[in-house]
Amino acid sequence: MFNSERHGYTFFQQMHIYHALVTMSWGWFFSIVLSFFVLVNLLFAWVYFIVGAEYLGIDSTHTSWHQFWEVFFFSTQTFTTVGYGRVNPQGLLTGAIASIEALLGLLAFALATGLMYGRFARPRANILFIENTLISPYRNNSTGMMFRIVHVNQSQVIDAEATVILSLVEPTGAQGAMTRNFYPLELERRHITFFAQPWTIVHPITEQSPLWGMTKEAFKEASGEIVILIKGYDDTFDNVIHARSSYIAEEFEWGAKFTPMITSSDTAFIAFDIQKLSKYDKVELPRQD
């Protein structure tokens, strides 16, 4: 489930460094890269400073603070293999340290380049989900559970398919024990060939539906939640993409209908306003007898 916590893991079992670096936001990624770069060079600068700045040809008459920043920037030049040449190692020990740092710099930049490529090349479905799932009037004086999504990338998604699973905590047996049950929901349209416009996914609440006759209060009491999987073929990545989301009971809006997203256009194209994706109007629901 998406709204769940995992306990009992050790620290090392939770470590998935590559997955974290590839999936985190760009801001966090560049912050980590920059922090790593600065910390490594501070470490090597400290080593050079302890060995002696004079072994790098730095004038010993300068202040300690000035000497430290000289060796720090020498470290950055060595780490990046720039090597301006004004400051250079003199002696076996400083030469060995600089060689080790240059090797680590090559490995670090190769790793960072691979991570950058992985972040750019990873197939990603930029699909927006509505903020709330609605329980709305549906055809033939009935009701339906519905939400809508939109693909905001310029690439084409073909053969899009939706899977929706309902989760309810229900009593089992005579002991009053509670268990979480899962129900695949039948959809009005599970598959569309071209996902080029907003798609409203509807589960008709018929007598065969596990939501039949359920009230808002009963749904909350049962810790109701739906889990959604959207998959389709993206022609840009030449690969299958996936998007996942879930809605808990507090994110259901009972007695509402969507505000239309279609807007007027002076061209032959169909225009829709993505800002209206989560907009809805309150309405009365028909009775379910």
Find the domain containing 230 and state its range: 127-282
Angle at 163 between CA 269 and CA 5, to 5 degrees: 120
pLDDT, position 5: 60
Same domain, 201 and 135: yes
Same domain, 251 and 159: yes
DSSP string, 200-216: EEEEEE-TTSTTTT--H
Domain annotation covers residue 7: no
pLDDT, position 143: 92
CB 256 within 8 A of CB 147: no
Which of these three, 121, 148, 183, is where a domain ends? 121
pLDDT, position 1: 43
Same domain, 134 and 274: yes
Query: Pick the residue with more confidence: 123 or 244?
Result: 244
Instruction: Read off the pLDDT of each residue in 137-152 and give the average, rounded to a whole number.
Output: 89
pLDDT, position 180: 87
* Residue 230 burial (C-beta neighbours within 10 Å; 0-12, 13-18, 19+): buried
Residue 155: phi, psi to the nearest 5? -70, 160
pTM of the model: 0.67
Q: How does pLDDT run across 66-78, given as a tens digit for each residue?
A: 889 999 999 999 9
- The model's confidence at residue 202, banded by pLDDT at 50, 70 and 90, is very high
pLDDT at 130 over 70: yes
pLDDT, position 47: 94
Which of these three, 64, 89, 121, is where a domain ends? 121
pLDDT, position 114: 92
Q: What dihedral angle (degrees, nearest 10) is formed by the CA atoms of 219, 215, 212, 147?
A: -70
Instruction: Read off the pLDDT of each residue in 248-263 and give the average, rounded to a whole number.
Output: 89
Instruction: Read off the pLDDT of each residue in 125-131 and give the average, rounded to a whole number.
Output: 86
Query: Pick the residue with more confidence: 251 or 271?
Result: 251
Same domain, 131 and 230: yes
Domain annotation covers residue 5: no
> Three-state SS across 129-175?
ECCCEEEEEECCCEEEEEEEEEECCCCCEEEEEEEEEEEEEEEECCC
Of 105-114, 125-134, 262-271, least confident by mean pLDDT is 262-271
Same domain, 220 and 106: no
> How many separate domains does the chain show?
2
- The model's confidence at residue 285, banded by pLDDT at 50, 70 and 90, is confident
Query: Pick the residue with more confidence: 264 or 157?
Result: 157
Which of these three, 121, 141, 170, is where a domain ends? 121
Same domain, 107 and 159: no
Instruction: Read off the pLDDT of each residue in 73-102 and give the average, rounded to a whole number.
Output: 89
Instruction: Read off the pLDDT of each residue in 183-202 and give the average, rounded to a whole number.
Output: 92
Same domain, 25 and 82: yes
State the alpha helices, DSSP H only, in the chain: 17-23, 26-51, 64-79, 92-121, 216-221
- The model's confidence at residue 54, banded by pLDDT at 50, 70 and 90, is confident
Same domain, 155 and 227: yes
pLDDT at 173 over 70: no
Domain annotation covers residue 277: yes
Same domain, 66 and 23: yes
Same domain, 75 and 195: no
Residue that is written with structure tokens 């004038």 in the block = 59
pLDDT at 2 over 70: no
Same domain, 267 and 168: yes
pLDDT at 39 over 50: yes
